Structure 1
């Protein structure tokens, strides 16, 4: 049972760690400021970088677009500013995280429309009309992220980013392709912070798949959507041409709740929506399997009827056939005091201010 320190309401779906209810987050700027200070404390505990000062060179690798003063490190912990340029701690062909073989059918966010699990897109994009048992996905778990989700269920990426270990290279990913691998999925963490290396790797992996005689080799992305738009479009095109799926996890609808849960700024929320729009524009070019799937983690008490209504109407407005997948919540990381289940939805009562509608 948590209590909101701003309105005094108590509930099982108010996190004691946050100390703020969803209504106060949307209506009271001081409530959001309080939670953003918690984000600073969390990152300090993890040994992570704080939000850059915003007084220097802009890093364009991902959509966070950190502005770095000389010697300052970006939010992802991978890039820094020195001698008038932004450079990386790693070589251009090197990434952080884990790479492993995941047997089909796997626990893909898009499992209901996945070629490997359901045969969707057969015979062009799937080996059989019923899936691909006996074959594997190359799972690429990236060890860094440009968000700071307080409910993260893959929170080990924080420690990988701090330690800068383990590492793998583009060549390692190409070598992972063999006669039994029919797709690669980049996730994490988030692929956005390794996007340029991942795209180069994906192209080389596609070539290797053809060389070993694979009939299909799909490129999939599981991401928060906070990408450099130009790079994101290249990633989407790779999925489009190979039968892969772009899975964008929308964390909330209103910028205030998005910021509280993930540490982003309002302009980041706008960019994430714009990137979803970019993928949606190509949706009709290949409907099976669907190019785009939007997922939503149902965080009890914070992904309420207002947030879900905003997300689903936004996606339906782009194309009503884009699948939306609701993911079950598991108490974890810093929001481990919330229950697993959502309370019953109540009639929608919009907050007094406009939160962006379908922008």
Structure 2
């Protein structure tokens, strides 16, 4: 399938004669942080420590940095005695997907979403399925100048109802994600965060205030798994889920089941009991199949029977909308009315079949309201995956904070 071209803003340079990013630069130079880089912006999520280091406050990793050091995520680092984001406006993997691929089964079903990511991640999952992006240190190879206005315009031109920050995690580029979301909102386009939910309270509040929907990747329901396999902490992710429950953000949850790691009946049952108590029965839960990847290539694929078993356990504990993913399972991908039990959205992979909801999300059989965001008839995007090639044009818009980013000599603090 060929790619679709859309217009994109050209790079904004801070001075004449600046070389294109990456041109003639050594690896050491590419790692160097500088506010002279037009894709580096100042941030607010940090504080000074008594020993002279600066602590990044975006996520629980709390990287404590000397001048010139980067955090574990690689895209945030210390320069000129502040924490900066070095990937603002740099993106990759532009593609129009079905919204169900995020996965979001109860958010504007059947509609197209413009998906993209950046580089880096604040977790270190040994099983990462997107490791070529999340572990990438090649920031200079990302698309240049994918500014907020340009991305909003691209989504509009492509007929997308929403835009998704995915592949790695918007937590680490939240300033960029928030600006893109604002630009999209001006055009009636929704913003979707696909995230591991490993984020601190203030940054969490700010990021999700700009989002319309989210899928949170709950890696397991074990602190041991999080510590040994992701190098993170479960409690912080549960805090994010609790927070989202108190907002207007529509969210769904995904757990990748890995054979012998997080797929025991006991762990699944404990996860579902917590889910029912804290989030309620109507938040969708997706159990998806693992494939060998990154540093866990010695573990076999998840058998479909494991996903069906997990789904059965979840439904027995009162969860209404439980799905299976990464396998062909018509029953496990169908939405059923929790009131009358009739199928209301039948899916074949990402293709919608029989659709039995009213425009505002009520079951046509019994009239019960189905939890989710339903706005008119379903889309017909189907299972298509349309790569997008962005073409430079135009200029910066009002939502692009690069236009206001301070230079090192300005003496200004953050840009927010």
TM-score where L is the length of structure 2: 0.56
Q: Is there any run of 5+ residues in structure 2 with no aligned partner, and where? A: 1-30, 32-48, 314-416
Structure 1 residues 162 and 63, CA gap change in structure 2 (3 angstroms): farther
Equivalent position to 1:192, from 155, 171, 180: 171
Structure 1 residues 270 and 218, CA gap change in structure 2 (3 angstroms): same
Deviations 1:320-350 (A, max 9, x none): 222111011111111112111358679x9xx
Name the CA distance, whole Å, in 1 between partners of 2:296 and 2:235: 25
Equivalent position to 2:202, from 213, 225, 230: 230
Which residue of the partner structure matches residue 109 of structure 2?
Answer: 116
**Are 2:289 and 1:331 equivalent residues in the alignment?**
no
Which residue of the partner structure matches residue 309 of structure 1?
Answer: 269
Name the Cα RMSD after superposition. Answer: 2.7
Once the two structures are superposed, the pairs formed by residues 77-96 of structure 1 within 5 Å of their partners are 77-90=74-87, 93-96=88-91
Which residue of the partner structure matches residue 220 of structure 2?
Answer: 252
Deviations 1:125-182 (A, max 9, x none): xxxxxxx4xxx31112232211111111111114533444213332331231325121
Deviations 1:214-239 (A, max 9, x none): xxx22211100012322322333333
Name the CA distance, whole Å, in 1 between partners of 2:283 and 2:184: 28
Which residue of the partner structure matches residue 160 of structure 1?
Answer: 136
Name the CA distance, whole Å, in 2 between partners of 1:141 and 1:246: 15
Which residue of the partner structure matches residue 156 of structure 2?
Answer: 178
Aligned residues of 2:215 and 2:254 also touching (Cα < 8 A): yes
Name the CA distance, whole Å, in 1 between partners of 2:208 and 2:139: 30
Aligned residues of 1:149 and 1:263 also touching (Cα < 8 A): yes
Aligned residues of 2:119 and 2:137 also touching (Cα < 8 A): yes
**Are 2:146 and 1:205 equivalent residues in the alignment?**
no
Name the CA distance, whole Å, in 2 between partners of 1:86 and 1:107: 34
Which residue of the partner structure matches residue 107 of structure 1?
Answer: 101
Name the CA distance, whole Å, in 2 between partners of 1:143 and 1:85: 21
Name the CA distance, whole Å, in 2 between partners of 1:97 and 1:60: 25
Which residue of the partner structure matches residue 261 of structure 1?
Answer: 229
Alignment length (residue pairs)? 254
Runs of 4 or more off by more than 4 Å in structure 1? 342-346
- Give the greater-gyration-radius structure (CA): 2
Q: Is there any run of 5+ residues in structure 1 with no aligned partner, and where? A: 1-47, 49-53, 118-131, 211-216, 349-359
TM-score where L is the length of structure 1: 0.64
Structure 1 residues 278 and 166, CA gap change in structure 2 (3 angstroms): same
